[in-house]
Amino acid sequence: MGNEDAVFYSRVLTELTLSFHIIYATVGVGIPLMIMIAQWVGIKKQDEHYILLARRCTRGFVISVAVGVVTGTAIGLQLSLLWPNFMQLAGNVIALPLFMEIFAFFFEAIFLGIYLYTWDRFENQKKHLLLLIPVAIGASMSAVFITIVNAFMNAPRGFDLVNGQLINVSPVLAMFNPAMPTKVAHVVVTAYMTSAFVLAAIGAYRLLKGSNHLYHKKAVFLMMKLGLIFSIATAVMGDFSGKYLAEYQPEKLAAAEWHFESEKGAPLILYGILDNGEVKYALKIPAALSILAHGLPNAEVIGLANFPKDEVPPLYIHYLFDTMVTIGMWLILVALVYVAGIWKSWPFIQTRWFHWLIVLGGPLAVLAIETGWWLDEVGRQPWILRGIMQTKHAATISQQVDTMLLLFVGLYLVLGIGSVVVLIRMFRKNPVEQELADRQAEKAGELT
């Protein structure tokens, strides 16, 4: 295996790890907020259904945290093993956010343990709810700090480059790079959105399987409302991201939009195919790319022809962008129709086919997260550290990366299948109806 093969397998293994980790990391960031909101609503309304929703979500959240820890550790290991030249060059700069991410996780884990083992130990449930605040903050801050590392790779700053060495390093300045605000906001908000739609999908699936319990209906309604709020917020963050790319990474925006020649009033291109450099069968929205990039319909958008060919990202990222945007718009539409339908008492939203649309929203939201990350990482190519170090110069020259890839594939299969089996058995052995009955029996015993 030559050096080119080592680079290829290093990229495949890193992409596999990130793709697997992002599923558990996303729900790990978003679920604590969903738990906190459900418990707060339950306390406020004195509704046992929402309290139970918080309890059951917490149990599932623990499993996702456990798997997320393993895959997160694998990412840290692979940074050093697969990308040693990158870590040697930039390690001192990104060490601070990496350390702070670990601190945020420990902060989350400590309070999560306390929260788990103090259910029913507080007479005032509001005090128990307070324990969840640091859990939610810690989970979100973990996402913030690790995303800062990714933002630095897209917009490196906070150092001087002299003879191939980074000197005069300012880690704080490096953290607050131009890419940080939009990337952090987009990642955190999409984690909340995805978690809401995943939980709504689970509730809708239980309704489809024959359960007509009010618990599931309340869970779906609450999560679809939250899904609507965060999906709209995601669209807003996406608009800000487009304006960031237009200013700082115009080659990524141009590649994602198949925008080859600089022009004013540039159209937004969705779908289509490339035939000898010509875009065919695409949906073109007039002036929309200029609005996305600069907020003005007549603004000029830089085309790919202005960049060296060896610095142009792979053009297939256009389809990743299309997939992400299409799913995002679809989720907003379904959530909006559902929430409006509940308030207006539209009968069709309680039909099986509409419940299937809600169920489909869960995996689609996860797919949108995946395509968004692939777009971000592949769209930065050929750079691992934009403008400073190319990916091919950052990778290991080890000849055993292909073996590592097989070993990690086996690990992820075990973790993925194992976590799903554990979650299914956990909730199948503790159905909602039985758990509510047990809770009522406990309360009756306390009164007597």
| pLDDT greater at residue 333 or residue 282 | 333
Residue 275 amino acid letter: D
How many structural domains comprise the chain?
1
361 is a domain residue: yes
pTM for the full predicted model: 0.88
Number of other residues whose CB lies within 10 A of the CB of residue 343: 8
Exposed / middle / buried, residue 92 (Cβ in 10 Å: 0-12, 13-18, 19+): middle
271 is a domain residue: no
Q: Check pLDDT > 70 for residue 445.
A: no
161 is a domain residue: yes
Give the model's pLDDT for residue 436: 65
Q: Which domain holds residue 18?
A: 3-241+316-447
Give me the chain's average pLDDT, please: 84
231 is a domain residue: yes
- Measured distance CA(86)–CA(91) in Å, rounded: 7
Number of helical (H) and strand (E) elements in the chain, helices listed first: 15, 8
Q: Check pLDDT > 60 for residue 446.
A: no
The token pair that represents 405 in the structure block: 């890839």
387 is a domain residue: yes
- Measured distance CA(290)–CA(353) in Å, rounded: 38
- Measured distance CA(133)–CA(92) in Å, rounded: 32
Mean pLDDT for the stretch of residues 368-393: 86
Residue of 231, 269, 208, 272 lying closest to 364 (CA atoms): 231
Give the model's pLDDT for residue 230: 92
304 is a domain residue: no
Give the model's pLDDT for residue 75: 80
306 is a domain residue: no
20 is a domain residue: yes
